[in-house]
Copies of this chain bind each other. A is one copy, B any other.
Amino acid sequence: MDSLRFFLPTTIESGANCVRSAAGRWVLGRKALLVTGAGAAAASGALADAQAALEARGAGWAHFDGIRANPDADQVYAGVAAAQAQGCDFVVGIGGGSALDAAKAIAWAAAAGVPRERFFRVRPEPGEAALPIVAIPTTCGTGSEVTPYSIITSHEAQTKVNVSGDGLFPKVALLDPRYLASLPPQVLCDTALDALSHAIEGAYSPRSTRFTEALALEAIRTIVPELVRMAHGAFVNLAQLQYASTVAGVVIAQTGTGLVHAMGYPLTYHKGIPHGRANGILLAGYLDFMARPCAALTEKLLEAASLRSSDELHGLVDALLDATNATPEAPSEDELTRFTREPLRLDLVRRYRSMPSPEEVMDIYRTGF
């Protein structure tokens, strides 16, 4: 039997004002590259908190705000150039998954001296260092603050590529739930569905252990009641969502994601459906598919969600998309047939407990739309 590994080298600091109050534990160099998108880092207050904390510790910073949704290698290398031009010795990602993932890729490419044209061709070596990474999430879905993954869009491969290595784990993750307060409802909903998807895919992973399963159940138990409240337009507990999203991130850091993410990427790349929403749409069909090889586990997942069936999950996701005015247009059958090839191309045996046929993948797509 193979040994199963649990590894989480990230220090998690949580609580209101933690970016300022824990400054002594996350200012890891003389000058930080603050990697952000155009809006959320500033709007959430996280950027100002980080700058104040850096100042309080006598550290400098440069601000690179060139990250957009689904970042590509051009954005990563603009960040690498900024880090080098400014002499930054650590990297702080502030924002959603895009900013955090880009910060990791920048930290690795800058430290390892990876040339732009080889970025998608090489992988971080075991033990290969990146610049120290600090993650300050302003959404509650990616889990990137506690994973070794950086998902970067490759236009050549027309999908997303996972640049992953132990050196890409953030050294510190800073969780302040107040940063979620400025999120638009659609983004809150999309990212919460992403977190739910991490928990479910992680639990079904062939690399799942009793420990990651317990963490996945805890995440599901926490997220689903908030989704139900969201669908009813009721008050949502942001601290709970943030917590559950990080716990689900701890799960996929060990197990990886699975079929839902692999099927979701083409929906995002070709149809522009936001990442978490694309996953959410596919979850009910995925649960049906996995209920055959994994009946007992599927029961446990539904029980943790306080849902009686995958149909109820389907209904919940529909209600959420409806409530946030986010129901996407369905792709054509031709498009779905094309998309079906992609998840099957990804290294199947390691990632999926049960290997789907093209027809089964199509079925999950069709159930979603």
Interface residues of A (CB under 8 A from B): 1-9, 11-18, 21-22, 25, 209-211, 214-215, 218, 240, 243, 247
Docked-complex contact A15 and B4, CB < 8 angstroms: yes
Set of chain B residues within 8 Å of A214, measured between Cβ atoms = 214-215, 218, 247
A218-B214, A247-B211 known; A13-B9 Cβ under 8 A? no
- Are the CB atoms of A13 and B4 closer together than 8 Å? yes
| Cα of A243 to Cα of B209 in the assembled complex, Å | 10
Checking B9, B22, B218, B240 against A9 with a beta-carbon cut-off of 8 angstroms, the contacting residue is B9
Among A2, A3, A16, A209, the most chain B Cβ lie within 10 Å of the Cβ of: A3
**Judging by beta carbons under 8 Å apart, are A21 and B3 in contact?**
yes
- Give the chain B neighbours of A14 by CB distance below 8 A: 3-6, 209
- Which residue of chain B lies nearest to A213 when distances are taken between CB atoms in the complex? B218
Q: How far is the CA of A263 from the CA of B263 in the complex (A)?
A: 56
> Chain B contacts of A25 at CB under 8 A?
5
Query: What separation, in Å, do the CA atoms of A15 and B4 have in the docked complex?
Result: 6
- Check A5–B1 contact: CB distance below 8 A: no
The 4 lowest CB-CB distance pairs between A and B, nearest first, are A3-B18, A6-B12, A3-B22, A3-B13
A11 touches B21 (CB 8 A): no
Contact of A1 among B3, B8, B17 (CB under 8 A): B17
What are 12 inter-chain pairs, A to B, with CB distance below 8 A?
Answer: A1-B15, A1-B21, A3-B14, A3-B15, A3-B21, A4-B14, A4-B18, A5-B11, A6-B12, A7-B12, A9-B9, A214-B215
